[in-house]
Amino acid sequence: MTPVDLRLSDSAIETLAYFKARTRISRRWAENYNERTRLIMNLFFSIGSQVDSRTNLEIANLTSAIARDAQRDSSSMITIAAVTMVFLPGTFISALFSMVFFNTGRDEHGKATMEVSPLIWYYPVITIPLTILVFGVWEIWRRQRQAKSKAFDNLTATKDQSTAPPRLRLSTLESNTNPRARVPTMISSPK
């Protein structure tokens, strides 16, 4: 066997040094792309979380509006029930004890008769204006509550707009490395 010359020529050493440097550069690029990929994944996760948060806020606002509307409806029903409770007992008792508009009896032949009092006109003359008055007072009260509720809604809507988070928009990255890369940038929300 002939001995092998283990000495390398200068061009072989330069070639190995070139490949070693090239490998280091490629490794740095791979680590850089790996880090960029990780950052972009975190960015998209954060954007998704922001969208979910904004959706949850919108759902909460809508739920709050539904609750306010339900409260308005229930307060109207409570008002009607209260008015009914105020007038119903008195109406029942007066109807029970003052049936003077209709007199029943028997005539000289034994037939049942019913006479209507000439004062029956008092009933509609008093009942209709009183009913209109009660519903008028109730309507005025209901409108005042709605005005207060709308003022509160406007106040909370103004507060919600002023504290809204900025929106994200994708824009082209001005870079020599990759002109197609897109990076999110912050823009202010419209007012």
User: Over the stretch 140-170, which tens digit does the pLDDT of each residue have?
Assistant: 988 888 888 788 777 777 665 555 555 544 4
**What are φ and ψ of residue 77, in 5° steps?**
-65, -35
Q: Which two tokens stand for residue 60?
A: 């909460």
Q: What is the mean pLDDT of the chain?
A: 77
SS3 170: strand
* Chain centre distance of CA 93: 49
**pLDDT (0 to 100) of residue 188:** 46
Listed range (41-45, 70-74, 146-150, 165-169) with the worst mean pLDDT: 165-169
Q: Which two tokens stand for residue 71?
A: 């409260």
**pLDDT (0 to 100) of residue 163:** 55
Average pLDDT for 62-87: 82
* Percent share of the chain, pLDDT over 70: 73
Residue type, 120: I
**pLDDT (0 to 100) of residue 133:** 83
Q: Which two tokens stand for residue 17?
A: 């040094």
Which H or E run contains 105? Answer: strand 102-106
The Cα–Cα gap between 190 and 164 comes to 10
Find the angle CA(46)-CA(51)-CA(56) to the nearest 5 degrees: 120
Q: Which two tokens stand for residue 32?
A: 């850089």
